[in-house]
């Protein structure tokens, strides 16, 4: 018990010594997140989008816990439950010292998990590589011998990482997620009556039904992919300019085209 | 769903018409929905440009469904004499629109506006997660009636104008 206290005091001392470098490192990362991310063009004083704000608060707490290290802020989200190690990096899914899996922290959003900026456009990023890296540390199979508590954490944490990977990997899911982070939920119940779009979709769906062979279907599929890419780009533009209404329109269209793709896939 | 279909097939094979009890099993489609899905009534289209036809085209963006409901109206009596639908979506959506076409036939236009999605949902025993499908059907009916009335207004407008031109 006293050994643990000594350890924590020592670690605080060490952290204090390394403070200048890490403190300067932290806000730099934080500012780069704020300024380059298109979702946080507003100034920090106004309420920024959900994820960045939570990072902001987390960082504040982190800084304050160092300044007043004699009474550290005991935030379970930033301290390892097992060895009490103070989290250095976000996301804190696995403790670096004792390698225990941490409980799910909902303030850590999917972009955070993959170390990405909260930006809709993430092409070219090594999602799969990072995903596998995480699973090497978090997978439930690795915690067979550990406590029930940790097994539960591993199950939840790896499920969340899988979710994040699937969401970020798919254009449409990512778009919906980005909107969700902005506080806009696509309403399930709503019906629309846009004659042009609906007529177009109706015709396409009819063409899918009547398609003679796989080649015809594949042709329609590639058309749908083109349209998805086009509207995905339009979504990215809308989000960048904060035009949420346009963004929602883009997402709706993407949903229709994605649905057609699903149907084609079923038929192939 | 497979269970219902095979049950139905067996029921037919035995040449009886048993009154099957309504089994409310979780996450399976209700009998009526399966029936409408397998034997949809009134699938098809009318000519959109036909003046006695009203077309309602609605969509549910959240699930990517699209529903087209058309009514053929007797101009003199204002009664709906025929209806057709074409729906791309889940079984519940197809069944809802099929039911809608059945219910509007033989009714007055004003009457069908009072068809509520809750009635359709009840008829098909739709689970809560599929209620929006019945809402889509209700909206489709309203859109079809609206379209017909807009067409008529346009025709009447033209007719009035032509009469005035003839008089002048």
Put simply, whether the predicted model's pTM sits higher than 0.80 gets the answer: no
Task: Give the pLDDT confidence of A218-262 residue by residue, as tens digits.
Answer: 888 898 899 998 998 899 888 888 888 888 888 888 989 998 888
Tell me, what's the pLDDT at B144? 93
Q: Can you read off the two tokens belonging to residue B66?
A: 């699209």
Q: Is the minimum CB–CB distance between A186 and chain B shorter than 8 Å?
A: yes
Short-list A121, A101, A133, CA closest to A171: A121
Percent of chain A with pLDDT over 70: 69
Contacts of A263 in chain B (CB under 8 A): 88
Query: Which residues in B lie closer than 8 A to residue A245 (C-beta atoms)?
Result: none
CA angle, B142 then B144 then B148, to 5°: 115
Residues of chain A contacting B60 with CB distance shorter than 8 Å = 190-192
Burial of A119 (0-12, 13-18, 19+ CB in 10 A): middle
Mutate to test the interface with A, among B63, B65, B66, B100 (most CBs of A within 10 A): B66
> Residue A191 and residue B135: Cβ atoms within 8 Å?
yes
Residue B8: which pLDDT band, with cuts at 50, 70 and 90? low
**Which one, of A77, A98, A88, A104, lies nearest residue A146 by Cα?**
A98
Across residues A75-92, what is the average pLDDT?
73
pLDDT at A148 over 90: no
Instruction: Grade residue B81 by pLDDT with cuts at 50, 70 and 90.
Output: very high
Which residue of chain B is at minimal alpha-carbon distance from A197? B59
Distance CA B147, CA A160 (A): 47
**Is pLDDT above 90 for B84?**
yes
Banded pLDDT at A146 (limits 50, 70, 90): confident
Over residues A30-46, the mean pLDDT reads 42
- Determine whether the interchain pair B59/A258 forms a contact, defined as Cβ–Cβ distance below 8 Å: no
3-class SS of residue B61: coil
| pLDDT of res. A63 | 44
ipTM for the assembly = 0.71
Confidence of residue B86 (pLDDT cuts 50, 70, 90): very high
Q: Which residues of B touch A (CB under 8 A)?
A: 57-66, 68, 86, 88, 131-132, 135-136, 139, 143
B60 and A201: CB-CB below 8 Å?
no
């Amino acid at each position: 018990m006293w050994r643990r206290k000594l350890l924590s005091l020592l670690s605080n001392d060490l952290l204090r010594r390394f403070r200048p470098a890490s403190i300067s490192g932290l806000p730099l990362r934080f500012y780069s997140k704020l300024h380059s991310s298109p979702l946080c063009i507003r100034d920090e004083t106004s309420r920024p989008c959900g994820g960045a704000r939570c990072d902001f608060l987390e960082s504040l707490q982190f800084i304050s816990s160092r300044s007043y290290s004699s009474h550290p802020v005991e935030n379970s989200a930033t301290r390892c439950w097992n060895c009490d190690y103070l989290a250095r990096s976000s996301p804190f899914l696995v403790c670096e010292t004792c390698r225990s899996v941490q409980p799910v922290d909902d303030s850590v959003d999917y972009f955070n998990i993959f170390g990405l900026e909260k930006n809709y456009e993430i092409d070219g990023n090594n999602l799969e590589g990072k995903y596998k890296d995480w699973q090497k540390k978090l997978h439930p199979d690795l915690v067979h011998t550990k406590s029930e508590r940790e097994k539960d954490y591993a199950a939840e944490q790896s499920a969340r990482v899988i979710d994040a990977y699937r969401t970020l990997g798919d254009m449409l899911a990512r778009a919906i997620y980005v909107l969700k982070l902005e506080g806009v939920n696509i309403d399930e119940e709503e019906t629309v009556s846009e004659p042009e779009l609906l007529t177009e979709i109706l015709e396409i769906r009819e063409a899918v039904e009547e398609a003679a062979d796989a080649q015809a279907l594949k042709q329609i599929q590639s058309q749908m992919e083109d349209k998805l890419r086009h509207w995905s780009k339009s979504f990215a533009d809308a989000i960048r300019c904060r035009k949420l209404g346009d963004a929602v329109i883009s997402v709706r269209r993407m949903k229709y085209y994605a649905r057609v793709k699903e149907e084609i896939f079923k038929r192939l | 769903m497979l269970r219902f279909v095979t049950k139905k097939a067996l029921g037919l094979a035995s040449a009886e018409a048993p009154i099957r009890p309504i089994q409310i099993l979780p996450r399976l489609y209700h009998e009526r929905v399966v029936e409408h899905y397998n034997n949809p009534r009134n699938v098809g289209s009318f000519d959109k440009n036909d003046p006695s036809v009203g077309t309602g085209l609605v969509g549910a963006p959240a699930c990517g469904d699209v529903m087209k409901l058309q009514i053929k109206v007797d101009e003199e009596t204002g009664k709906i004499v025929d209806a057709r639908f074409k729906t791309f979506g889940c079984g519940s959506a197809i069944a809802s629109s099929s039911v809608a076409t059945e219910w509007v036939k033989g009714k007055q236009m004003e009457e069908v506006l009072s068809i509520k999605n809750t009635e359709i949902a009840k008829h098909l025993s739709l689970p809560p997660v599929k209620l929006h499908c019945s809402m889509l059907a209700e909206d489709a009916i309203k859109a079809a009636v609206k379209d017909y009335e807009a067409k008529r207004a346009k025709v009447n407008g033209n007719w009035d104008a032509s009469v005035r031109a003839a008089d002048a």
